[in-house]
Structures are given as C-alpha cells and as structure tokens.
C-alpha cells in the first residue's frame, strides 16, 4: 500500500530535485539531530478516527500523522483526501497502511477501532469480541512504539482502557481513556447556556463511567471562580435538585441524541481527543477528566478499575489525580460507578 505523503524524487529515474531547487548557504551546520519530531498514529479510519485526524491536522499537533485500518481501499482514499488538502494545512507528513510497522516511533497512539454491537447481542459478548480485536491492535503498537502513550477512544472506553493496559504491559500512567472529557465539555456547555456565560469560564467535571452511571460533581462547580451551589445557598436563592439532575441527564443523553439525528458522533469527540493530544504532547499539565486506574482514590480500593477522574496530564502521560472536593453522595455514586465497571471487567479473560 502507498504509505508516504510526499516525495522529492520527481525527476527522471527518481532524481532528487531538492538539490536543484535549493543551494545550501555558506558555513551551514547540518540539521540538529535533537530536533523534536512529533508522530501521532490513529488506529481506525471510521467517522471518529477521521474526525480526530482532521482536527489534529488543522491544529498543527504533529509533524507526522499515521492512519491504520483493516480496510485498505478506504484507508488509501482517506489518506489521499487529506493529502490533497496540503496547501490549506500546516505541513504534516501523512502516511497510511494496514501494516502496523508504519506506526513505528509514535509518540501517541490513538485507538478508535472497535466492534459494533449486533442486534440482540449482549454487552458482555460485545466486550469479548472487542478484547479479541484489541489482541490484534495493542501488541503491534507496543512492539513498534515501546515508549508511546496509548489513548483509547473506543467504547466502552473504561473497560477497553483496562484491556489495553493489560495487553500492553505499560505502566498505568501511559494508558489513558478519553473517558468523560467530552461529557464534561457538554456539561460545561449546558451550565454556561443556563447562566448565559462563556463555557470556558465554567469549571465542572463529570467523573466515573463514560456512560449511564457517570457522576456530575455539582459540589465543586464554579463559574468565574465562584462556587455555584454555595453561592446560591449564601444568597438564599432556591433551586430544585431535579433541575440539576435534568442537566446531568442531558449530558448522558447527548451522544444518543446526536446518533439518533445524524447516525453517529464525530466532531465533538474529534476536538476532545485533539485537546487531550495537545496537553499530552506539549506537556501542558492541564487537568482533564479521563479514564485512569482508580484504585486508591476516593475510597476505591477493590480491583484495577479504570474510570474517569480529574487527572493532570503531561508528556509522560498521567502525572497525578487532582484532589477535587466531592460530597458524600457524589463519593457514593462514584464507588457505585466503579462497581458497575468492575463487574464487567471481572468476567473478561485477557
């Protein structure tokens, strides 16, 4: 399969024309061998994978972008389509192949591939099929990029992040799930919409499972540095708990609504994952609610459960988990969310 995105060998017999176009300046040193070269590989060229790839390109996050998929023709078509936009994008080498060797030396490997649930299929059977799929994905990524960070996007993301961790043999800080980073973005948008402020001024987290048992941390929400619920209490402004629950329900149902209307989700998760890639590869040390190993945090002590917690991310992956305030009810719900995930992971053979 055609791999490379560009070539300077355009002359007769593959003559390298760069020597004809450009003459070196006097007393020039050779290129520095220490120049940082950032390489990102995306596994899965479906709607989500391509939205992530497109966002990475437009945000100039990589010097080299690699696409891997089992469908060779679609993969080649997607690669060519992106390459043809080169004049409108930052300079990035785009490569694609069905062979994982093309991913060698990746700084970040993003996995979006996953089996789709068949009509009438149980969730557990779907998980078994995804474990089988991950057996063919994770080991070759590790083989060709032993120092990479694995960023898992496939659903159910918390369980598959655990699967990827087990299959990779990596330290837990280098295996991360996209988790509730997008859920928290939806949450911030809805709160900002209710208060008529910019979502960037809202600090709010959804934690736990990326799914129905997720937990909204209302007790720690702030807008412009002002804690919302304590402010309402001090001002004796009444609010209904049902209103808060409805906002959380909108967050949980958000993806389902998009899927109902357009058939799939893509753009929001594309921006969310690119946001994580920027923080990781540029060592920005920002806090994101992502799926990490949760044992030892907030009273979760049993098993190696992965779920979303507010984690500080940087060039080495997960740097730590923030000690965000949770009230008793939120802590109880988080433990319940962990139990839901643990019940499923305990039934997997990895």
Catalytic residues: 210
CA nearest neighbour of 341 among 298, 299, 293: 293
Determine if residue 212 is labeled as part of a ligand binding site: no
Determine if residue 216 is labeled as part of a ligand binding site: no
Query: What is the arrangement of strands in the sheet containing 202-203, beginning at the earlier edge strand?
Result: 202-203, 222-223, 226-227
- DSSP 8-state symbol, 235: T
SS3 call for 119: coil
Determine if residue 69 is labeled as part of a ligand binding site: yes
Residues 291-316, buried b or exposed e (16+ Cβ, 10 A)?
bbbbeebbebeebebbbbbbbebbee
Q: Which two tokens stand for residue 42?
A: 């995306």
Determine if residue 155 is labeled as part of a ligand binding site: yes
Query: What is the arrangement of strands in the sheet containing 149-152, beginning at the earlier edge strand?
Result: 93-97, 64-68, 39-43, 108-111, 149-152, 175-177, 287-293, 306-314, 317-321
CA nearest neighbour of 218 among 231, 208, 204: 204
CA nearest neighbour of 300 among 268, 269, 337, 325: 337
Determine if residue 131 is labeled as part of a ligand binding site: no
Known binding-site positions:
44-49, 69, 130, 153-155
Known binding-site positions for NAD(+):
44-49, 69, 130, 153-155
């Amino acid at each position: 399969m055609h791999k490379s995105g560009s070539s300077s060998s355009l002359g007769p017999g593959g003559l390298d024309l760069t020597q004809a176009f450009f003459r070196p300046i006097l007393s020039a040193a050779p290129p520095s061998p220490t120049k940082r070269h950032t390489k990102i590989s995306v596994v899965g060229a479906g709607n989500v994978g391509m939205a992530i790839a497109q966002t990475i390109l437009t945000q100039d996050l990589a010097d080299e972008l690699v696409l891997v998929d089992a469908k060779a023709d679609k993969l080649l078509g997607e690669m060519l389509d992106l390459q043809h936009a080169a004049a409108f994008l930052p300079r990035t080498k785009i490569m694609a192949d069905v062979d994982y060797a093309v991913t060698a030396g990746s700084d970040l490997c993003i996995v979006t591939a996953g089996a789709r649930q068949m009509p009438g299929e149980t969730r557990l059977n779907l998980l078994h099929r995804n474990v089988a799929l991950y057996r063919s994905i994770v080991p070759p990524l590790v083989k060709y990029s032993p120092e990479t960070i694995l960023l898992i996007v496939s659903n159910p993301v918390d369980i598959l992040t655990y699967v990827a961790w087990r299959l990779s043999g990596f330290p837990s800080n280098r295996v991360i799930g996209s988790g509730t980073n997008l859920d928290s973005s939806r949450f911030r948008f809805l709160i900002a919409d209710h208060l008529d402020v910019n979502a960037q001024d809202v600090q709010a987290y959804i934690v736990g499972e990326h799914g129905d048992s997720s937990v909204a941390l209302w007790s720690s929400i702030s807008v412009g540095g002002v804690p919302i619920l304590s402010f309402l209490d001090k001002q004796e402004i009444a609010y209904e708990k049902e209103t808060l629950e409805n906002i959380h329900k909108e967050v949980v149902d958000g993806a389902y609504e998009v899927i109902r209307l357009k058939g799939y989700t893509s753009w929001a998760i594309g921006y969310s994952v690119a946001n994580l890639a920027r923080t990781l590869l540029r060592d920005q040390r920002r806090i994101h609610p992502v799926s990490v190993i949760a044992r030892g945090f907030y009273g979760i002590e049993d098993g190696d459960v992965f779920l979303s917690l507010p984690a500080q991310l940087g060039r080495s992956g997960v740097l730590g988990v923030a000690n965000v305030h949770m009230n008793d009810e939120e802590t109880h719900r988080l433990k319940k969310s962990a139990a839901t995930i643990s019940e499923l992971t305990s039934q997997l053979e990895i």
